[in-house]
Amino acid sequence: MKRTAAGALLTALDQRVAAVARAVGVDVEESSDPGATAATLLPLLVARARQAPRPDVAWLLLTAVRAAMPSSADVLALRRDLELLDDEDATARLLADVVRHPLRGALELELDVVQGVVVNADFCARHDIHTGIHRVVRETLPRWSGDFTVTANVDEYTALRTLAPREVERVLRYGQESQVDPAAERAYRARLVVPWRGVLLVPEIPDTAFGPALAALAEHSGNALVLIGYDMIPAVSADLRPPVDAVRFGAYLTVVKHAASVAAISASAAAEFAGFAHAVTAQGLPGPRVHEVVLPADVPVPVDPAQDGAAPGGRPRVLCVGSHEPHKNHDTVLHAAERLWRAGHEFELVLIGGPGWRSEEFSRRIEHVRSLGRPVTHLGRVTDDELWQAFRDARFSVFVSLHEGFGLPVAESLACGTPVVTSSYGSLAELARDGGCLTVDPTDDDAVTEAMHALLTSPDLLERLRGEARQRPRRTWDDYARDLWRTVTTAREEQM
């Protein structure tokens, strides 16, 4: 039994090494004896890595032997060995390292070397959670007509792998009726995917465990790494996030500084990432090129276009969307609502969004307000269709976040024709410029209260803002997908 397992590992090694040899132009003569192909090719690949002017061949060789993408320290160590050792000794040391650390890689898996565009959508593949970032991934990738390969990570977060059939559905056909063949799902066997002289797009925030390998890929592999830049809240507004977020984001910035391009979702996000890109020049690095690829606000046309902004009982609805976390500033909205209720104004406050950091405090406050008889409805997480209907049913929405990379609730409210009270700076001010909004200092209780009061009491103002919302220029997911694809496919040319 042990011999069979060892033979399977050697056969997988043979395949990985042969695939890499073909990618770098080394002739391959395969043997049926487990391990024989690798034994023949490894010294040749070591010699090729020594001769290469850049570290990309060394990176690829390490990935094949270990069945795991190396760290920058690993690549440096191999290149130093290549300077000091002959081919035989360098090969022996390379294999000895695998024997010492067998759990570091997926040694049983075979490998595909992929040129072109590779997309790592690990979280979307593994989970059915469907909030902001995941919506971006699932709305964008199915719209691409160009050739690309979607991957997830192996469980150790040391390499990329192919998707299982169910994962393909989560990423490319989310929300549709399942077409997965149970037999195909059972038969699925992962294969490693290694980008080579192409582009790797990471549209999510990668798992921290994957950071060192991803940074090394960006620095040494010759691939162009492209990231979607959502925001730098954990760094710029660290006081509004849990301390662990700053640590995780610091690890992520190690990846960002070696990336070829960042596709920022707003001008505000672009300014943040461009500032960081400039900062890393102090390390002698060029930093990533930052492109502004603004998110859309594309909502379907309602079946019933009528909109009255009132609950069934005739009481106006005020909608507040977003996870319950300090930087969303929902406490200010609740305080303004209480002031208006005490002043005798009739309206219902509807909250949509799931729990987040320190959400327990906010939940207790909601319960206290309800105990006073205030009309507060908390719907939690809802489907996209339910969300858009809630926007259409609202008289107006309130989103006075303290820091956002984009502000999708503002954009979607306006796309539904519903005015918004929002913040007067950053990405939210950008969204407000095309009309349909009242902007306020989100830290000013009086300003937030006065804006809500104005939209509750002034039909003329409300109708003017609704008209502005309907006249706003429309940017669709098709537009975003096209612009992001252009950014991804030109990244390699820009890097060269």
Q: Do domains 112-296+480-495 and 317-471 have the same CATH topology?
A: yes
Residue 302 has pLDDT above 80, yes or no: no
The dihedrals phi and psi of 421, each to the nearest 5 degrees, come to: -95, 120
d(CA 46, CA 59) in angstroms, rounded, equals: 11
Q: Quick one: what percent of the chain has pLDDT higher than 90?
A: 82
Beta-sheet strands, E only, within 442-488? none
Percent of residues, the chain, with pLDDT higher than 70: 96
Q: What are the tokens at 148?
A: 């690309």
- Residue 30 pLDDT level (bands cut at 50, 70, 90): confident
Q: Which among 399, 403, 401 has a CA at the least distance from the CA of 234?
A: 403
Structure tokens at 75: 């690549």
Average of per-residue pLDDT across 285-291: 96
Supply 83's token pair: 């300077």
What is the predicted pLDDT for the residue at 356?
Answer: 81
Range in 185-189, 304-308, 432-436, 488-492 with the lowest mean pLDDT? 304-308
pLDDT level of residue 1 (50, 70, 90 thresholds): very low
The rounded distance, in Å, linking the Cα atoms of 424 and 166 is: 43
In angstroms, the CA 217 to CA 215 distance is 5
d(CA 308, CA 221): 57
**pLDDT at 314 > cutoff 80:** no
Task: List Cα–Cα distances, 13 to 1, 67, 195, 273, 433, in angstroms.
Answer: 19, 8, 18, 40, 57
Residues 5-13: what's their mean pLDDT?
Answer: 91
Q: How far apart are CA 342 and CA 111, in angstroms?
A: 66
- The 10s digit of each residue's pLDDT in 417-443 is 999 999 999 999 999 999 999 999 999
Query: Which of 59, 60, 83, 85 lies closest to 72 in space, CA to CA?
Result: 59
Q: How many CB atoms lie within 10 A of CB 159?
A: 24
352: its two tokens: 């949509």
**What CATH architecture is 112-296+480-495?**
3-Layer(aba) Sandwich (3.40)
Q: Work out whether strand 317-321 and strand 289-292 pair parallel, antiparallel, or are unpaired.
A: unpaired
DSSP string of 336-375, one letter each residue? HHHHHHHTT---EEEEE--B-TTHHHHHHHHHHHHHTT--
Q: Tokens 């609502």 correspond to what residue?
A: 337
If pLDDT is split at 50, 70 and 90, which confidence band does 19 have?
very high
Total count of residues recorded for the chain: 496
- Are 139 and 484 a contacting pair, CB within 8 Å? no
> What confidence tens digit (pLDDT) does each residue in 232-265 have?
999 999 998 899 999 999 999 999 999 999 999 9
pLDDT for 53-104, tens place per residue? 999 999 999 999 999 999 999 999 999 999 999 999 999 999 988 887 776 7
- Type of residue at 222: G
DSSP 23-47: HTT------SSTTHHHHHHHHHHHH
The answer, yes or no, to whether residue 2 has pLDDT greater than 90, is: no
Is the distance from CB of 337 to CB of 349 less than 8 angstroms? yes
Domain boundaries, the chain: 2-108, 112-296+480-495, 317-471
pLDDT at res. 3? 47
Q: Residue 486 CB: number of other CB atoms within 10 A?
A: 13
User: For residue range 118-171, what is the model confidence (pLDDT) as tens digits?
Assistant: 999 999 999 998 888 999 999 999 999 989 999 999 999 999 999 999 999 999
The encoded tokens of residue 224 equal 């162009």
| Superfamily grouping for domain 317-471 | Glycogen Phosphorylase B; (3.40.50.2000)
3-state secondary structure of 467: helix
Average pLDDT over residues 304-318: 65
